[in-house]
């Protein structure tokens, strides 16, 4: 066998750990390393399998192609006023009781219920929590690449003179 450090031919080598690398060393060179305690059995430890699996999953997510023109956002539903009113009435609360319970003015809640006032994000969160309803929905937005002109909007093909 050949020592991986000095290169001499020896009858027996020992696995040693030298600066984080496993080497087969002769008895003379083994003083430069630490005893190598390899994994028990033929497989690695369960903890290392978990780490490897997590890294592979992260790599897979990183390697996926992303559509930079498409984004998913949460937007307020169109019928937020009726949803708020119906949820408040389902809890058998009148406008004054409900507005007092969430520490808001009665007029603001009345305007929201009649769709005259669009609530800000803090108010939407407060209403969702107090009434146990969802006022936001996920909306897919983004540009259209390629394809035809189904939307009726202007594209470069509208300006190109075809012969």
Where does the pLDDT of residue 142 fall: very low under 50, low under 70, confident under 90, or very high at 90 and above? low
Token pair recorded at residue 29: 């060179």
Higher pLDDT, 45 or 80: 80
Question: How much is the average pLDDT of 69-97?
Answer: 90
Q: Is residue 90 part of a domain?
A: yes
Domain that holds residue 120: 72-141
What mean pLDDT do residues 101-129 have?
94
Assess whether 133 and 91 both reside in one domain. yes
Q: What are the tokens at 148?
A: 């035809």
- Give the pLDDT of residue 158: 74
119 in a structural domain:
yes
Q: Does residue 151 or residue 131 have the better pLDDT? A: 131
User: Does a structural domain hold residue 104?
Assistant: yes
The fraction of the chain above a pLDDT of 90, given in percent, is 44
Paired strand residues for 16 = 23, 35
The pLDDT value given to residue 45: 63
pLDDT, average across residues 72-84: 90
Question: 33, 5, 29, 6: which is closest to 17 by C-alpha?
Answer: 33
Average pLDDT over residues 1-29: 90
CATH number at 129 reads 1.10.260.40
How many structural domains is the chain composed of? 2
Give percent of the chain above pLDDT 70. Answer: 86
Taking residues 3-26, report their average pLDDT. Answer: 90
Domain presence at residue 44: no
Query: Is residue 51 included in any domain, yes or no?
Result: no
24 and 35 in contact (C-beta within 8 Å)? no
- Same structural domain, 34 and 77: no
Domain membership of residue 30 (yes or no) is yes
| Statement to judge: residues 30 and 80 lie in one domain | no
Task: Using the predicted structure, report yes or no on whether residue 90 has a pLDDT greater than 90.
Answer: yes
**Helix locations, 31-142, DSSP H:** 46-63, 80-90, 95-101, 106-113, 121-131
What is the spatial distance between Cα 133 and Cα 63, in angstroms, rounded to a whole number? 37
Say what the pLDDT of residue 147 is: 47
Residue 134 covered by a domain:
yes
pLDDT at 118: 93
Segment 134-142 shows an average pLDDT of: 83
Inside any domain, residue 162: no
Is the pLDDT confidence value at 42 over 90?
no
């Amino acid at each position: 066998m050949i020592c991986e450090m000095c290169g001499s031919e020896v009858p027996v080598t020992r696995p040693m750990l030298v600066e984080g690398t496993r080497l087969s060393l002769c008895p003379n060179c083994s003083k430069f390393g630490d005893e190598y305690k390899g994994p028990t059995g033929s497989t690695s430890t369960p903890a290392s399998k978990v780490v490897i699996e997590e890294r592979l999953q992260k790599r897979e997510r990183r390697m996926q192609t992303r559509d930079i023109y498409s984004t998913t956002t949460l937007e307020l539903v169109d019928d937020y006023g009726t949803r708020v009113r119906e949820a408040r009435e389902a809890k058998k609360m009148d406008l004054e009781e409900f507005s007092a319970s969430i520490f808001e003015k009665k007029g603001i809640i009345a305007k929201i219920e009649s769709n005259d006032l669009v609530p800000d994000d803090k108010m939407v969160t407060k209403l969702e929590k107090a009434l146990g309803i969802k006022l936001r929905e996920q909306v897919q937005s983004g540009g259209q690449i390629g394809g035809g002109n189904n939307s009726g909007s202007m594209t470069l093909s509208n300006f190109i003179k075809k012969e």
